[in-house]
Amino acid sequence: MRKLSRLVPGGIALALVAAACAPNASQDSLRPAGPYAEKIDNLFKPVFWIATLVFFVVEGLLLYLVVRYRHRNGRQGIPPQVHGNQRLEIAWTILPALILVGVAVPTVSTIYDLAAQPTGRVLNVSVIGHQWWWEFDYPDLNVNTANELVIPVGQPVYLSLCAAGAGYDKQPAPNDCQDVSEIIGDSVIHSFWVPRLGGKQDVVPGRINHLLIQADRAGVYPGQCAEFCGLSHAYMRFSVVAQPRDEFDAWVGGQQADAATPPGGSLAATGLNEFLNGQCIACHAIQGTDAAAIGGPNLTHLMSRTCFRGCTMPISAANLKRWLRNPQAVEAGSWMRLNPPLTEGQIKSLVAYLMTLT
């Protein structure tokens, strides 16, 4: 029994090591996929092994002591009353201090390394945290999208992070976070985190924070808001889509284009009419139409994305209909408040129109 107690934490440490290699965790911070996440990993791994070593030394010592000096039947008398040993105590004060100095040096250098401004070709993206979705604005490319951050492979992406609130739609569009400081409204704190590409950075109302990420391989890297931000915090997710350079350039070209106008008389044309004359236009923008509000996600190329609602639902006609019927039923507390609710007919035509926004 006694041995078992010491084995429990040891077993857990082993399980931790084993599980660190689990291949199916898509947000695994232990599988970095870019240089910034790697810098963190290269620091964490040695610290982890030092900690593991200390763990086994201390727990081993504890185990040894409780076994070696356990009370044995028949033992008489009282052990000698040792009150301490100054030399020993000074030693075990200095030894951990030295280990910590060894840990502190690379820590500090990595702090500064990660905070350094990038040089060379850098993609600038403003990340704007809303309750509960992410807006991605590319100020140099004139692209605005949501929930999916598309980046080129192998290039540092310099993120400027800021928060926007419910009062956001009353203000001019931000080209970068500088303007957003005007339109904080009731915004709350979020935290941008895509574990395989970098650490977290909080998104704080009234401040502009920065974070560097980079992906070295093409792929989809899930991330999510890591600071509790209210009712649907768990559903404030996003994806970083890393594409080869040429694909990325093509994507930018597509995003810069205006939305196509549906042919007259089609169901989609009815939907466009509904969009521009109904409630949608109050919060959403569709480039190439009169819709230019910025409270909600920009829908110009909605169908070029794979997910919506904080990237927790795949985009499909069925899911869009479900959403339009009652956003609050899908997402607790959603700021998309339809009053009055849309009719089935309106929903049908609106979804038909949205499906044309490629």
Partner 1 sequence: MASVSLLAEGGRGGRLRRPTATTGFWSWITTVDHKRIGILYGFTAFLFFLIGGIEALLIRLQLARPDGTVLSAEAYNEFFTMHGITMIFLVVMPLSAAFFNYLIPLQIGARDVAFPRLNAFTYWAFLAGGLFIYSSFFLGGAPNAGWFGYAPLSTVEPGNNMLFYALGLLMTGIASTASAVNLSVTIINMRAPGMTMFRMPVFIWMGLVVQLLLVFALPIITVGLFQMLFDRRFGTHFFDPAAGGDPVLWQHMFWLFGHPEVYILVLPAMGIVSEVLPVFARKPLFGYQFVVFSGIAIGFIGFGVWAHHMFAVGLGPVANTAFAVSTMIIAVPTGVKIFNWLGTLWKGDIRFTTPMLFAIGFIAQFVVGGLSGVTHAVVPADYQQTDTYYIVAHFHYVLVGGAIFGLFSGIYYWWPKMFGRMLDERLGKIQFWSMAIGFNLTFGPMHILGLQGMPRRIQSYPASLGLDFWNLVATAGAFVIAASVLLFMVIAVRSFRRPKDAAADPWDARTLEWMTSSPPPAHNFDEIPIVRSLDELWHRKYAETETGVVVSVPAGGSGTGEGHGGGEGVGHGIHLPGPSYYPFVASVGLPLIGYGVIFQWWMAVVGVVVLLAGLYGWAMEPSAE
Which 65-124 positions form the footprint of partner 1 (CB under 8 A)?
A: 65-66, 69-71, 75, 77-86, 88-89, 92-93, 96-97, 100, 103-104, 107-108, 110-112, 114-115
Which of 201, 165, 159, 193 is CA-nearest to residue 180? 165
Task: Pull the structure tokens for residue 133.
Answer: 């979705």
Looking at 44-52, 257-265, 274-282, 340-348, which segment touches partner 1 (CB under 8 A)?
A: 44-52
- Give 303 or 332: the residue with its C-beta nearer to partner 1: 332
What 3-state class would DSSP assign to 219? strand
Question: Exactly one of 49, 141, 145, 224 binds partner 1 (CB under 8 A); which one?
Answer: 224
The least distance separating partner 1 from the CB of residue 321, rounded to whole angstroms, comes to 21
Question: Exactly one of 226, 241, 286, 320 binds partner 1 (CB under 8 A); which one?
Answer: 226
Which of 331, 329, 353, 333 is CA-nearest to residue 341? 329
Give the integer Cα–Cα distance in Å for 38 and 196.
9
The least distance separating partner 1 from the CB of residue 174, rounded to whole angstroms, comes to 15
Q: Does 127 bind partner 1 (CB under 8 A)?
A: no
What string marks each residue from 155 to 174 as x (binds partner 1 by CB under 8 A) or -? ----------x---------
Give the integer Cα–Cα distance in Å for 177 and 284.
19
Q: Yes or no: say if 183 and 153 are a contact pair by the CB < 8 Å rule.
A: no
Q: Does 29 bind partner 1 (CB under 8 A)?
A: yes
Q: Does 256 bind partner 1 (CB under 8 A)?
A: no
- Binding to partner 1, residues 276-295 (CB under 8 A): none
Q: Does 3 bind partner 1 (CB under 8 A)?
A: no
Q: Does 58 bind partner 1 (CB under 8 A)?
A: yes
Q: Does 316 bind partner 1 (CB under 8 A)?
A: no
Q: Yes or no: say if 132 and 233 are a contact pair by the CB < 8 Å rule.
A: yes
The least distance separating partner 1 from the CB of residue 61, rounded to whole angstroms, comes to 6
Q: Does 306 bind partner 1 (CB under 8 A)?
A: no
Looking at 48-56, 149-157, 275-283, 295-303, which segment touches partner 1 (CB under 8 A)?
A: 48-56
Q: CB under 8 Å, gap of 24 or more: what pairs does 272-280 form?
A: 272/353, 274/346, 274/349, 274/350, 274/353, 275/350, 275/353, 278/342, 278/346, 279/338, 279/339, 279/342, 280/350
Total Cβ atoms within 10 A of residue 226: 19
Give the integer Cα–Cα distance in Å for 256 and 155.
21
Question: Exactly one of 35, 59, 179, 278 binds partner 1 (CB under 8 A); which one?
Answer: 59
Task: Pull the structure tokens for residue 228.
Answer: 């509790």
Neighbour-count burial of 153, counting CB atoms closer than 10 A to its CB (0-12 exposed, 13-18 middle, 19+ buried): middle
Question: Exactly one of 253, 332, 337, 341 binds partner 1 (CB under 8 A); which one?
Answer: 332
Q: Does 28 bind partner 1 (CB under 8 A)?
A: yes
Give the integer Cα–Cα distance in Å for 195 and 305.
21
Between strands 123-130 and 133-138, the pairing is antiparallel
The least distance separating partner 1 from the CB of residue 296, rounded to whole angstroms, comes to 19
- Give 220 or 260: the residue with its C-beta nearer to partner 1: 220
- Binding to partner 1, residues 172-211 (CB under 8 A): 181, 184-189, 191, 193, 195, 198-202, 204-207, 209-210
